Amino acid sequence: MTSQEFYELVQSRKSIRKFKKDPVPREVLERMFQQAAFHAPSGKNRQNWRFFVVQGQKRDEYLKYSQKSWLSIKDVLQKRLKPSLYDFTERFFFTLGDAPVLVFCYSHNDNEERYHTSIGSVYMAVQNINLACQVEGLGCCTMGAPLEIKEDVDKFLGVTELPEYKKGELELLCGIVIGYPDHNPPKAPRQLENRITWID
């Protein structure tokens, strides 16, 4: 890959919220995790990311939780979004855009590493998943909305029964919906001003 191809890959990434119902092959998902997500840097090389992949009937069952999370953020979004985009976003939360794959991303925290380093390590793996989706011809959208109903999601996934959760070490950070894109939305303009301070 040339440097130009790399920058084009990064810049081509955008959030997709409408998907075809075609399933994503298991081998594609495994490749994205094993050859992309798991190669992200992590604090003290702890590789503390934990992913829960939800598909099929269980994915359909999650829709009622997605709808519940919408209630927590709809008022904020109504102030920020144009009416047409607000309506589209509401439909997305009720259907998750028909995405066949949901991924819930957790950090396994412990006292050997600072909290923000641990969660930052997971988000770097999440970015690798975003880029892997581009390479695989998939679309995705990383969502913070599951955090609005954190306890519900933990119980839904059965995470509450895990020893590390009971010790207070396992924390939900975000969700990702993944599937084959069924639209090509414009990418939001990048805000370049006042984002870098050069110190010589």
Q: What's the CATH code of the domain at 60?
A: 3.40.109.10
Residue 43's domain comprises: 13-179
In a domain, 97, yes or no: yes
Residue 1: the pLDDT is 87
Residue 1 lies in a domain: no
Nearest CA-CA partner of 14 in 191, 177, 186: 186
Q: What is the model's pLDDT at position 188? A: 87
Residue 151 inside a domain? The answer is: yes
pLDDT value of position 107: 98
Work out how many domains the chain is built from and give that number.
1
Q: Is 15 helix (H, G, I), strand (E, B) or coil?
A: strand
In a domain, 196, yes or no: no
pLDDT for the residue numbered 4: 97
165: how many CB neighbours lie within 10 A of its CB? 19
Spans of the chain below 50 pLDDT? none
What does the block give as tokens for 146?
């599951």
In sequence order, which residues have a C-beta less than 8 Å from that of residue 17 and are 6 or more positions away?
88, 89, 92, 97, 141, 177, 183, 185
Taking Cα atoms as reference points, which of 42, 139, 10, 15 lies closest to residue 1?
10
**Using only C-alpha atoms, what is the Rg of the chain?**
18
**Does the residue 198 lie in any domain?**
no
* Residue 128 pLDDT: 98
pLDDT at 103: 98
Q: What is the pLDDT of residue 3?
A: 97
pTM over 0.85: yes
For residue 2, being part of any structural domain is answered with no
